[in-house]
Structure 1
Amino acid sequence: MTRNAVDVPVALLGYGTVGAAVHRLLDEQGDEIERATGHRLRVVRALVRDVDRDRPCSPGAGVLTTDFATIRDDPQVRLVAEVMGGLDPAGDHVVELLRRGTPVVTANKQLLARRGPELFEAAAGGGVQLRFEASVCAAIPVIKVLREALVVTNVHRVLGIVNGTTNFILSAMEGGQTYAEALAEAQRLGYAEADPAEDVGGLDAAAKTAILATVAFGSRVPVEWVEVEGIEGVTREHVAAARAMEMHVKLVARATLVGDLVDVRVGPALVDARHPLAAVEGAFNAVMLQGDAIREIMLEGPGAGGIETASAVVADMVSIVGTTGTGFLQNDPVWRELGRLPAGELASPWYLRLEVEDRAGVLARLAQELAAEGVSVARLVQQPADGHAVLHVVTHEAAQGGLERALAAIRALPESRGHASALPVVSDRGVEELGWA
């Protein structure tokens, strides 16, 4: 330590993969952090369930504890990083620390999405910072960009791939694997948990989308507002149909500001091959920000992994010690109250998959049902299949509600077979540019 460096004892809530990586980065990059901030961050406590469990690396004598009070009541601890995950007891621990005047960095997306107002109220009451970059897209600094670089920009849309597990699976399916094969491969490589439900069901992406929308629009967006659909229903047929139309299937997170109303959703979508998100492959994430002054910015990078998440945690810790006393980012990002766009009102181009009897007059009947709800066809591809036909349809932009009513009417037709389904289409090009007009 240099002569004028300030020693900053820190504590970790959790010492798993991420916690150990945070400790290692603070040790390995200590000189660089000190040169940048004049502070030397030193881990003195780490909360765990079992101090005797075997760990790949030793945190040092006396660091591990099972008693939260030893961290909460330790006057030398000046900063805490929460990397234990889950809502309980992590949430109560973080609230206690903030109220007592201890700044906190968290990587916990579910905690931020579900208890954000309480956490920021506690931070304001304690007069300390709460930072959460690692809760969304790990090493990609999208929260920092939104809160600092774009503070005076009217961001009206956030579009992204925010879950590396599902993007890996869908990329593998494009390579020819089935959903089950791709999931098994993701689990083997450590991209997916043994129980992957939160990832493949879209819940992980939904929490991240709620956080992004809250920060981008300056209004509380509860996770309950996010319309969620996972990738379990995506088949190789969807992938093949997308390829035939020069598209890719992606799990897309979208937050859209429409006047004073917000629409937030996560679900599979067909992404035009020329759209920037189409090129995001494997376990990578990307977030596109669109606004009045910036037009469009995209941030891309690894969105998961212990060292990637740890790097974002450490960056937030460095930011806190570098801005102590300024109150920067301790305040709730919410400064206004926006409503939720009524269900079904958001418009989009759509991809439809329909199964019908292969006989004269059926296409006209389908077109009639779509037109009755204001849905017009931009492109249609027909495939014969055992006495019936599978239709792959791309529509012009249409409101979701009208599309869903048209699909319900089509399903009720005697000529209809199977389940008529729809996925939104993401493209910067109009149907004329795509050659579908």
Structure 2
Amino acid sequence: MVSVDVPVALLGYGTVGAAVHRLLEESADEIERATGHRLRVTRALVQDTSKDRGFSPTPGVLTDDIGDILGDPSIQVVAEVMCGVDPAGGYVLELLRSGRPVVTANKQLVARRGTELFEAAAAGGVQLRFEASVCAAIPVIKVLRESLVVTNVHRVLGIVNGTTNFILSAMEDGRSYADALAEAQRLGFAEADPTEDVGGLDAAAKTAILATVAFGSRVPLDWVEVEGIEGVTLDHVVAARALDMHVKLIGRATLVGDRVDVRVGPAFVDGHHPLAAVEGAFNAVMLHGDAIREITLEGPGAGGIETASAVVADMVSVVGTTGTGFLQNDPVWRTLERLPPGELASPFYLRLEVEDRAGVLARIAQELASEGVSVAQLVQQQAEGRAVLHVVTHEAPSGRVDAALAAIRALPEARGESTAMPVISGRGVAGLGWA
């Protein structure tokens, strides 16, 4: 077989971009044997061409002028590994419209501008691939779009942010939130400004992408209800352990009839659930469907080389398929409505701090009952003139739980902060022994 030379370009040459270039060179022979193509980086867009790089390209590869890529008809595939929505979005749109396939690792770009990106890819007759935008080396997009295309996936659960999972795992070892975050930053798992990770925004973008692909319907990022882990304390971690649970930041996408609910937030995860065992900076995604029951994919979800491996795999898929390939088509094929906020039902864990005196427990029970929230288990602890109530509810709509919690916070007997977290378990409250 005669090898086909494929000039490629990179938008961005930081940690991921340099790793992509290195993998393409180190794996060139394997890629050629598998596809008959030899991918060769000829251009890489950077802000500063004089900056030292982890993997130095040959002279002339680096450029700070996007025109050197847009105007070069020899470039056949482009990998976008920049940060942010702009100017990356404009560059990708131009490339797709000009008939160049693009591989991207940019979750915010895909989540926020997916509609116009796929329209541009269709108009240009080329592929847009985005495996690396969700869980780096874990091939969940490929599995959803190809292997499970007819399985009617109706629920996606995921630990899709390694930074927050590392922090919560460290808190299980007794570290405070602040200490765990500092350790994550020292080890390079968290940025100097960790807001996007700990605030749940990173996980929200990834969950919106997963929901879009899994359900075949555009799920806008603003549909995702988001709560970060800033409010998680060691008290929550200790309470979870007492219930044989673990606190995790969970992305959830649920298909309810012809409506979709998507949310990200901390949850109490049953110790027997597959996601409970995911520790450190690892990611995992669980898919539920009619034909598969459940499948869990787990692995490193971040890191330069891990993300680069997914980018390279997508580039190989582009050159290894004929025509526009399977992934040319927009994954959206139907229109679903958003499930009204507050309607998705779940068991909940409530942590309530109240004045320790007669009649308070009855007031709490009354507020819960008035919203139709049934208590499955209640444990009371004494704490310096206060009572800390640990309540596990039967399944209830989140809006009803939020309303009951607001009423409890407004009681004159309320002390401290009262919080609620959903409980995730495949066994249900009865199976957990709380009914």
Q: TM-score range by the shorter chain?
A: over 0.9
Distance 2:404 2:82 in 1: 46
Contact 2:78 2:101 (8 Å CA) reproduced: yes
Q: Judge which range, 204-213 or 361-370, deviates more.
A: 361-370
- Identity level (%): 81
Q: In the alignment, which residue of structure 2 is the partner of 1:164?
A: 162
Q: In the alignment, which residue of structure 2 is the partner of 1:308?
A: 306
Task: Choose from 268, 283, 287 the match for 1:270.
Answer: 268
CA-to-partner distance for each residue in 1:13-43, whole Å, 9 max, x for gaps? 0000000000000000111111110111110
Task: Choose from 333, 336, 341 the match for 1:335.
Answer: 333
CA-CA distance at 1:363 after TM superposition: 1.5
Contact 2:127 2:324 (8 Å CA) reproduced: no
Q: In the alignment, which residue of structure 1 is the partner of 2:205?
A: 207
CA-to-partner distance for each residue in 1:18-71, whole Å, 9 max, x for gaps? 000000000001111111101111101000001001112211111000111111
Q: In the alignment, which residue of structure 1 is the partner of 2:95?
A: 97
Q: Judge which range, 218-227 or 321-330, deviates more.
A: 321-330
Contact 2:267 2:421 (8 Å CA) reproduced: yes
SS at match of 2:429: coil
Please list every run of at least 4 consecutive aligned residues from structure 1 whose deviation after the TM superposition is greater than 3 angstroms: none
Q: In the alignment, which residue of structure 2 is the partner of 1:174?
A: 172
Task: Choose from 106, 128, 131 the match for 1:130.
Answer: 128
Q: Judge which range, 102-111 or 324-333, deviates more.
A: 324-333
Q: Judge which range, 43-52 or 53-62, deviates more.
A: 53-62
**Equivalences for 1:183-222 in 2 at 5 Å?**
183-222=181-220
CA-CA distance at 1:224 after TM superposition: 0.3
Task: Choose from 16, 24, 44 the match for 1:18.
Answer: 16
Task: Choose from 57, 69, 72 the match for 2:70.
Answer: 72
Task: Choose from 63, 86, 96 the match for 1:88.
Answer: 86
User: How many pairs were matched up?
Assistant: 435
Contact 1:127 1:327 (8 Å CA) reproduced: no
CA-to-partner distance for each residue in 1:153-207, whole Å, 9 max, x for gaps? 1010000100000000000000111011000100010000011000000000000
Q: In the alignment, which residue of structure 2 is the partner of 1:428?
A: 426
Task: Choose from 238, 241, 251 the match for 2:239.
Answer: 241
Q: In the alignment, which residue of structure 2 is the partner of 1:48?
A: 46
Q: In the alignment, which residue of structure 1 is the partner of 2:226?
A: 228
Distance 2:160 2:55 in 1: 30
SS at match of 2:55: coil
Contact 2:19 2:55 (8 Å CA) reproduced: no
Normalization by structure 2: what TM-score? 0.99
User: Structure 1: which amino acid aligns with 2:314?
Assistant: D
CA-CA distance at 1:364 after TM superposition: 1.9
Q: In the alignment, which residue of structure 1 is the partner of 2:375?
A: 377
Distance 2:126 2:322 in 1: 9
Q: In the alignment, which residue of structure 2 is the partner of 1:347?
A: 345
Q: In the alignment, which residue of structure 1 is the partner of 2:119?
A: 121
CA-CA distance at 1:432 after TM superposition: 2.2
Q: Which runs of 5+ in 2 are unaligned?
A: none
Distance 1:74 1:30 in 2: 23
Q: In the alignment, which residue of structure 2 is the partner of 1:366?
A: 364
Distance 2:410 2:43 in 1: 63
User: Structure 2: which amino acid aligns with 1:143?
Assistant: I
Distance 2:66 2:428 in 1: 56
Distance 2:229 2:413 in 1: 28
SS at match of 2:328: coil
Distance 1:408 1:75 in 2: 60
Q: In the alignment, which residue of structure 1 is the partner of 2:315?
A: 317
User: Structure 2: which amino acid aligns with 1:369?
Assistant: E
SS at match of 2:230: coil
Q: Which runs of 5+ in 1 are unaligned?
A: none
CA-CA distance at 1:111 after TM superposition: 0.2
Contact 1:107 1:133 (8 Å CA) reproduced: yes
SS at match of 2:334: coil
Distance 2:271 2:431 in 1: 13
CA-CA distance at 1:129 after TM superposition: 0.3
CA-CA distance at 1:419 after TM superposition: 2.5
Distance 1:411 1:230 in 2: 21
Contact 1:173 1:182 (8 Å CA) reproduced: yes
Distance 1:383 1:371 in 2: 22
Contact 1:83 1:108 (8 Å CA) reproduced: yes
User: Structure 2: which amino acid aligns with 1:258?
Assistant: V
Normalization by structure 1: what TM-score? 0.98
SS at match of 1:419: coil
Distance 2:416 2:150 in 1: 50
Contact 2:347 2:429 (8 Å CA) reproduced: no
Contact 2:349 2:422 (8 Å CA) reproduced: yes
